[in-house]
Amino acid sequence: MHNLTSMPAFLLLGFSDIRELQLLHFFMFLVLYLMAIIGNLLIVIVIVLDHHLHTPMYFFLMNLAIMDLGTVTVMVPKSMAISLYNNRLISYFGCVAQVFFLHFFGISDFALLTIMAHDRYVAICRPLQYETIMHKGACMRMVAIGWITGFLAAMLHTGSTFGNTFCANSVHQFFCEISKLLKISCSDFYLVEVRVLVIAFIISVGCFIFIIITYMQIFSTVLRIPSSDGQKKALSTCIPHLTVVSLLMFTGAFAYVRPPTDSSSDLDIVFAVIYTIIPPTLNPFIYSMRNKEIKTALWKLFYKNGVVYCSIC
């Protein structure tokens, strides 16, 4: 096949060729995108404005919301534009940018969730040392490590993927996904990316095992708390984080741990939506529904703005 490394663009997979279904997809993604943007922006705003939320747990949560904003913004607007304008083209460098930023935000997200598990461990298992261990400088360094890890991993994935030569330009996914790009590669360099993916998988499993072990220690400590109110209070700070981790892991497993098929383009899209868009959309609701402090901060934000608006009127 002809070497297409210098191709000006790739063709992404559309959701449908029927105009009505294209518009339906556009509006469905628009709703999901607005939910994700508004929910995560509200989390960031209330944490920044409310000094009661200037604690390590909420500092990590704010960074998680920023990462989720980045994740949905990288892929959803482009997919909406494909359906709205019926144009599946994405430039070569646009595809490179998608791969880089998807892995940058995604890997940083998972690294931060691992850090947040450590934060909950220190808060519950070593409460008297919490302020000493989780001081401002330590939290800043931990978050910086998470962002840097995502950046380096994204550079590695992007470089090893686009070091390939491509013999086709049709990507069977609604965004530039590495596994789909490797299928249209016509060079042996894809073995480098396969090795990188294996290393990434091992690191992800290692982080997941760390989180599981951490929560085993947390639950063991919680069970030793004499009062039921104390147990409930301790668990209430862990349940949102544990739910977010479970959602991310189960949606990822749902997408990748399944029998391979040759004709599953439609199914691939459904799985990709589940593990890339649903978690960033639901995360703000998971953290706000069971968190009285965030609910109170949101109420103050809207109440004060409402009072100011009414006084101006």
Say whether pLDDT at 37 is over 90.
yes
Residue 310, pLDDT score: 44
Give the burial string for 34-45 (b: 16+ CB within 10 Å, else e): ebbbebbebbbe
Give the DSSP letter of residue 88.
Answer: -
- pLDDT at position 311 is 43
- What size, in residues, is the chain? 313
Within 13 Å, how many C-alpha atoms sit on residue 110's CB side?
26
**Cβ neighbours of residue 203 closer than 8 Å, sequence gap 6 or more:** none
**Which pLDDT band, with edges at 50, 70 and 90, does 163 fall under?**
confident
Residue with the bigger pLDDT between 96 and 9: it is 96
Q: How confident is the prediction for the chain on average, in pLDDT?
A: 83
Rounded average pLDDT over 73-91: 89
Query: Could you give the domains of the chain?
Result: 9-312 (1.20.1070.10)
Q: Is the pLDDT of residue 313 over 70?
A: no
Asked whether 105 and 64 are in contact (CB, 8 A), the reply is no
Q: Per-residue pLDDT tens for 200-219?
A: 777 778 888 899 999 999 98
Q: What percentage of the chain has pLDDT greater than the value 70?
A: 85
Would you state the pLDDT for residue 257? 57
Q: If pLDDT is split at 50, 70 and 90, which confidence band does 139 have?
A: very high
pLDDT digits (tens, 9 = 90+) for 83-123: 888 888 899 999 999 999 999 998 999 899 999 999 999 99
Contacts of 64 (CB under 8 A, 6+ apart): 109, 112, 113, 116, 244, 283
Mean pLDDT of the region 226-249: 81
Residue 51 has pLDDT above 70, yes or no: yes
Q: What was the pLDDT predicted at 308?
A: 42
Q: What is the mean pLDDT of residues 9-25?
A: 84
* pLDDT on residue 29: 92
**For the segment 250-279, what is each residue's pLDDT rounded down to a tens digit?**
776 665 555 545 444 567 777 788 778 888
